[in-house]
Amino acid sequence: MDISERIAAIRDKFNLNNFSFSRKISVTGTTIDSIINGRPQPDGSRKRTKPGYDVLTSIINEFNVNPDYLFAKSSTMLRSDANINSNYSEMPQVVSVDNTGDENVVFVPIQARAGYLSGYSDTSYIEQLPSFNMPHLHNGTFRCFEVQGNSMVRTFFDGDLVFGKYVENLGDIKDGRVYVIITKNDGIVLKRVINRIAERGKLILKSDNKDGNYPTYTINAEEIMEVWYVTMFASKQMPEPVDVYDRLHDLESQLVELKEKLSKD
């Protein structure tokens, strides 16, 4: 459908005609009629008028419409429906347990990422991945992902391991925290997240690497398959000593040299 047909669908959703619909958004009935049905042309045809920014904004605000629906980026008409991903489960599709019934941490290495997109809900696939017990990870289901790439450099590096706790409700995602997001289109990504599920049916994903190669972008709630809140990580990167320690080392060296000199005098 084009945008005029989508506006007509919104009108029909609320059981309105062109005139009553126009009154709701404070425009003339002629304006809506020209958008939906078109203006008569000399040759007998009708040419539809493209809706302006003010008209679209009024429709979105008055009827709580999902903006992506109007621009053919989503099939979900209303924000209230876009806020809920009916495919998102309160629990992971598959978990791994040890002989005593306690949950294991499943490890997803870089080479398993491609298969994970189709196998995250497949018991036989999950069973093939390495799994282990972590004594400090309790009260939830945890998964370990190997970091790929440099988008989160400053915080995480290529090859680091991040441990994520499964997020049972998308509304629980906290602004500014780091999550592993599994989506249909982008696969497995590690990002700092701003939650706009309630307002816009979206998550905003940000990178910690600020070199300009990793722009901020959004994903729709209906694209999300899994979300894991990063609670712990392991890294091979040892931090360089900060400047204050360098100064302390220099001072310590000078004191040692001074003591040696005094002991010789």
* Tokens 């712990």 found at: 232
What is the spatial distance between Cα 240 and Cα 249, in angstroms, rounded to a whole number? 14
- Give me the domain span that covers residue 73: 3-82
DSSP string, 78-146: BHHHHT--TT--SS-S---B-TTSPBPEEEE-GGGHHHHHHHTT-HHHHHHS-EE--TT--SS-EEEEE
Residue 98 lies inside a defined structural domain of this protein: no
156 and 119 part of one domain? yes
pTM of the model: 0.63
172 and 120 part of one domain? yes
What angle, rounded to 10 degrees, do the helices at 53-63 and 3-13 form? 30
Residue 223 lies inside a defined structural domain of this protein: yes
132 and 198 part of one domain? yes
78 and 130 part of one domain? no
The answer to whether 181 and 221 are in contact (CB under 8 A) is: no
Residue 116 lies inside a defined structural domain of this protein: yes
What is residue 244's predicted lDDT score, i.e. its pLDDT?
58
Contacts for 144 with CB less than 8 Å, ≥ 6 apart: 105, 106, 107, 108, 161, 162, 163, 164
Contacts for 106 with CB less than 8 Å, ≥ 6 apart: 95, 96, 126, 129, 130, 131, 143, 144
115 and 37 part of one domain? no
Residue 251 lies inside a defined structural domain of this protein: no
114 and 74 part of one domain? no
The CATH code of the domain that includes 72 is 1.10.260.40
Residue 123 lies inside a defined structural domain of this protein: yes
**C-alpha torsion angle, residues 189, 193, 199, 201 (rounded to 10):** 10
First and final C-alpha spacing in the chain: 94
What is residue 44's predicted lDDT score, i.e. its pLDDT?
85
29 and 116 part of one domain? no
- State the total domains in the chain: 2
Residue 115 lies inside a defined structural domain of this protein: yes
What is residue 263's predicted lDDT score, i.e. its pLDDT?
74
Nearest to 143 by CA among 100, 191, 182: 182
Phi, psi of 159 (to 5 degrees): 95, -10
123 and 23 part of one domain? no
Residue-level pLDDT, tens digit, the chain, 265 residues:
789 999 999 999 999 999 999 999 999 999 999 999 999 888 888 899 999 999 999 999 999 888 888 888 777 788 766 555 556 787 888 888 888 878 899 999 999 988 998 888 888 999 899 999 888 888 889 999 999 999 999 899 999 999 999 998 888 899 999 999 999 888 999 999 999 887 778 899 999 998 889 999 999 888 899 999 999 999 988 766 656 556 666 777 777 777 777 776 6
217 and 157 part of one domain? yes
What is the spatial distance between Cα 168 and Cα 161, in angstroms, rounded to a whole number? 22
What is residue 232's predicted lDDT score, i.e. its pLDDT?
94
Residue 151 lies inside a defined structural domain of this protein: yes
What is residue 73's predicted lDDT score, i.e. its pLDDT?
75
What is residue 265's predicted lDDT score, i.e. its pLDDT?
64
134 and 45 part of one domain? no
78 and 109 part of one domain? no
The CATH code of the domain that includes 172 is 2.10.109.10
117 and 229 part of one domain? yes
Residue 239 lies inside a defined structural domain of this protein: no
